Amino acid sequence: MSQISEKIAIRAREELFINIQPIQAGGRLTPEAMKAMIAYGDGYSTCDWCLKPFRLDKIRKPPIDEFHAELADFLGMDQVRVFPGARRGFQAVASTLVEKGDTVIVSGLAHYTEFLTIEIVGGIAREVPPNEDNIITGEATAQKIEEVKRETGKLPKLIMMEHFDYVFGNEHDIRGIAKVAKEYDIPLLYNGAYSIGLMPVDGRKIGADFLVGSGHKSFASPAPSGLLATTDEWAEKVFRTSRATGDLTGRRFEGKEVELLGCTLMGANLIAMMASFPTIRERVKRWSEEVRKSNRFVKEFLKIEGNKVLSEMPRKHTLTRVDTTGSFDEIARTHKRRGFFLTKELKERKIVGPFPGATKKWKLNTYGLTWKQVEYLAWAFKDIAKKYGIPVRE
Amino acid sequence: MSQISEKIAIRAREELFINIQPIQAGGRLTPEAMKAMIAYGDGYSTCDWCLKPFRLDKIRKPPIDEFHAELADFLGMDQVRVFPGARRGFQAVASTLVEKGDTVIVSGLAHYTEFLTIEIVGGIAREVPPNEDNIITGEATAQKIEEVKRETGKLPKLIMMEHFDYVFGNEHDIRGIAKVAKEYDIPLLYNGAYSIGLMPVDGRKIGADFLVGSGHKSFASPAPSGLLATTDEWAEKVFRTSRATGDLTGRRFEGKEVELLGCTLMGANLIAMMASFPTIRERVKRWSEEVRKSNRFVKEFLKIEGNKVLSEMPRKHTLTRVDTTGSFDEIARTHKRRGFFLTKELKERKIVGPFPGATKKWKLNTYGLTWKQVEYLAWAFKDIAKKYGIPVRE
């Protein structure tokens, strides 16, 4: 394998394999983003034309200002800023709204980064239970709010909620939850790490106060990158500018947005997001086809006896949690390579991505595969099953 | 000019020009970092081999764990983590150590990002006055600490101090300041945005509790990237792991470092830092030559009548603040292009970087130029001066 330097090998799994790794699919770069990486790689590359007011989101060359306006519009929100990852967007909101001892409502399937941003400011996360189908409903959210109110005498300060969770890729009742949030007058942060950049998302229609998206997870962008969009009303708070004054120099930094620490996502990562944006606009229109491919794969996958799908059915996302305890894990129990037999068999068929050695509960993502690759992928699993004598329905 | 996409032009100023922009010089990528951008551009590229304990700094392939160990050693500290920019390192320390109403000592020449990270947590920044040569001394720092103690009855919680500041590129008495910090038992954050990656920096010898460096400013890395190094003692606090528990699920995130929000600098940016690291190790040894080149340029630049250098002399850094009010600004006052005449004359000589239109006080950076380029740069300024009748000493 060729090397980048003595210790770092070239990464070529997207070129050499079909990659169904659960979190990598939506963050594969577009050719334009790849070019941006090459041309804007140098550290402060975006600062060539940084003129007054010396703010990243106001730079006109390359058209960073225009990108911000178009991105806000695309998301159905008034304003947007880019961040080094969705988690830094959660952090900006938590830091603005949550004080020590305050409660924040999260999903029982919430990503750990939400917990961490709440923990930093001394807040307390309280989880809404998913129902028996692993779906978070508006009703369950209302019940949790009431529970918090009873126990603490205060309403939660914020609701952070996934549209699609990272465990099952299930769709949660985000509109119902938004309605509940409005009823209780609690701001809602919509976690779109698995939706923004993949499917159409309109914050205004949803009724969200904040939208957070991930560049490297779903916007065909390098890590770290992400976005936080909000309304004009909330922008005044979460994008508030500095009020500090140097006691000696009298310096002020009135143009600098505090939670962004000034210029937040400079360089190639931002330009790559911009370069991928035209593709993103188009690809979200084809989301239903991606879902059809996901369902097509799952249908074939379930023909292998003992295979189960733990995510909701039919699939509404390309990320799916499966259970092969009754099929491939049966083989793993006596195979000398144990679970790694499956990893190896897949790799021999030029497929990578499932967690190495996993043969019980694991995740995969079919996003971005062609129909032909989806058929091939399904064939490969069935071929492996047959090889090991696992019955496969025709 | 070729395009990356419809709206984004190729950036080629490092290829087509001598670039003396003050903050871009140290962040130009190495060829290896450029390769890393290409091979590791896809979002979650660093997650291919993320196994237990599921922590970025523990990944062995590519050798991210080894890089962390070697980087800490290189900096003379016990532990290091990468961050999306130096500012996120300041934020982690401020968030850990500073509470509402606490005082933090900063330099009168402190970067605005330090102020912002203090403001977020409700702290109050107090500035140490530079002396008449624009140098911050240990003595002045001690005086400021005493002043704070008198006024508030409490000692400051933290000292954040630049080794070299962004205004003049002057070297401050960081060892003297560290001594004072020790005497008062106040932790010292060494801001190495203009030193780490350019010159040898040994945190232990300096006596710093925290070292913060910038990848995109001085480590030949893309933005955003940076690092925070510390001692084992402080690592327990600033790199503390999560103590949150899901009230419903009982979930815990014991491996996740709170202030890092888990995995902080993934993807191409981290691999580019790693890819540049062997070059960084070597280039810091040649820092004295970079300083000689800086002084060589300045010597020639001062032969233009009316030119002044506002930074300390002789130069100890490659970043220099100059004053051409008595030379080029005299021309600008009556030139139809005003200050932009100088920008244009430089550009015609294939030199870019000074703030467009600036002819009074402005900054330049000679870092990384060859001797030949330094001579050419000096010649170019003198040539422009002569063209406009400004006397030039031989």
Q: Which of A1, A70, A107, A115 best probes binding to B when mutated, by most B CB atoms within 10 angstroms?
A: A115
Instruction: Average the pLDDT over B25-52 and give the result.
Output: 96
Q: Name the token pair of A77.
A: 């929100």
A225: left (phi over 0), alpha (psi -120 to 50) or beta: beta
Q: Give residue-wise pLDDT tens across range B135-189.
A: 999 999 999 999 999 999 999 999 999 999 999 999 999 999 999 999 999 999 9
pLDDT category at B320 given cuts 50, 70, 90 is very high
Rounded distance between C-alpha atoms, residue A242 and residue A254, angstroms = 5
Pairing of strands B18-19, B351-352: parallel
Chain position carrying tokens 């983003």: A33
Residue B122: helix, strand or coil by DSSP? coil
Rounded distance between C-alpha atoms, residue A8 and residue A11, angstroms = 9
Q: Name the token pair of B8.
A: 């984004």
Q: Give residue-wise pLDDT tens across range B225-251.
A: 999 999 999 999 999 999 999 999 999
What percentage of chain A exceeds 90 in pLDDT?
Answer: 99
Query: What ipTM is given for this predicted complex?
Result: 0.97
Q: Which residues of A47-72 are buried (b: 16+ CB within 10 A; e: fewer)?
A: bbebeeeebbbebeebebeebbebbb
pLDDT higher than threshold 70 for residue A55: yes
- Is the distance from CB of A206 to CB of A186 less than 8 angstroms? no
Q: Give residue-wise pLDDT tens across range A351-382.
A: 999 999 999 999 999 999 999 999 999 999 99
Selecting from B8, B26, B223 the residue whose C-beta is nearest the C-beta of A275 gives B8
pLDDT for the residue B162: 98
Chain position carrying tokens 């080029």: B328
Residue B266: helix, strand or coil by DSSP? coil
H or E stretch covering A141: helix A138-152
Q: Do the first three CATH levels of B13-26+287-387 and B45-265 match, i.e. the same topology? A: no
Do B39 and A11 count as a contact with CB atoms less than 8 A apart? Answer: yes
pLDDT for the residue A1: 54
Contacts with A115 from chain B: Cβ below 8 Å: 242, 244, 246, 251, 253
Do A8 and B129 count as a contact with CB atoms less than 8 A apart? Answer: no
How would DSSP label each residue in B306-349?
A: T-EE-S-SS-SSSEEEEE-TTTHHHHHTTSTTTTHHHHHHHHHT
Domain ranges of chain B: 13-26+287-387, 45-265
Q: Name the token pair of A123.
A: 């807040």
Q: Give residue-wise pLDDT tens across range B335-385.
A: 999 999 999 999 999 999 999 999 999 999 999 999 999 999 999 999 999
Do A275 and B45 count as a contact with CB atoms less than 8 A apart? Answer: no
Q: Name the token pair of B309.
A: 């250098």
Rounded distance between C-alpha atoms, residue A176 and residue A179, angstroms = 5
Nearest chain A residue (CA) to B269: A223
- Is the distance from CB of B114 to CB of A249 less than 8 angstroms? no
- Is the distance from CB of A269 to CB of A67 less than 8 angstroms? no
Chain position carrying tokens 């070059």: B279
Do B8 and A87 count as a contact with CB atoms less than 8 A apart? Answer: no
Instruction: Average the pLDDT over B93-116 and give the result.
Output: 98
Q: Give residue-wise pLDDT tens across range B264-313.
A: 899 999 999 999 999 999 999 999 999 999 999 999 999 999 999 999 99
Average pLDDT value over all residues in chain B? 97
Do B44 and A243 count as a contact with CB atoms less than 8 A apart? Answer: no
Choose among B129, B132, B156: nearest CA to B140: B129
Choose among B217, B207, B183, B184: nearest CA to B89: B217
Instruction: Average the pLDDT over A304-323 and give the result.
Output: 98
Q: Name the token pair of B394.
A: 């031989």
pLDDT higher than threshold 80 for residue B1: no
- Other Cβ atoms closer than 10 A to B211: 28
Q: Give residue-wise pLDDT tens across range A88-116.
A: 999 999 999 999 999 999 999 999 999 99
Could you give the residue ranges of the DSSP H alpha helices within B134-207? 138-152, 174-184, 203-206
Average pLDDT value over all residues in chain A? 97
Q: Is this structure's pTM higher than 0.90? A: yes
Min Cα distance B392 → chain A (Å) is: 30
Question: DSSP state, A108?
Answer: T
Instruction: Average the pLDDT over B195-209 and give the result.
Output: 98
Contacts with B224 from chain A: Cβ below 8 Å: 84, 224, 264-267, 269
pLDDT category at A2 given cuts 50, 70, 90 is confident
Do A113 and B45 count as a contact with CB atoms less than 8 A apart? Answer: no
CATH number for domain B45-265, candidates 3.40.50.620, 3.40.640.10, 3.30.1360.20, 1.10.3720.10:
3.40.640.10
Residue A78: helix, strand or coil by DSSP? coil
pLDDT category at A140 given cuts 50, 70, 90 is very high
Selecting from A13, A222, A261 the residue whose C-beta is nearest the C-beta of B43 gives A222
Rounded distance between C-alpha atoms, residue A367 and residue A278, angstroms = 18
Nearest chain B residue (CA) to A248: B127
Its CATH class, for the domain covering A13-26+286-387, is alpha beta
Instruction: Average the pLDDT over A160-164 and give the result.
Output: 98
Selecting from A35, A61, A256 the residue whose C-beta is nearest the C-beta of B112 gives A256
Instruction: Average the pLDDT over B41-52 and give the result.
Output: 95
Contacts with B115 from chain A: Cβ below 8 Å: 242, 244, 246, 251, 253
> Cα A279 to chain center, whole Å?
17
Burial category of B183 from C-beta neighbours within 10 Å (exposed 0-12, middle 13-18, buried 19 and up): exposed
Rounded distance between C-alpha atoms, residue B115 and residue B98, angstroms = 12
Selecting from A13, A43, A61 the residue whose C-beta is nearest the C-beta of B24 gives A43
CATH number for domain B13-26+287-387, candidates 3.40.50.300, 2.40.37.10, 3.40.50.1980, 3.90.1150.10:
3.90.1150.10
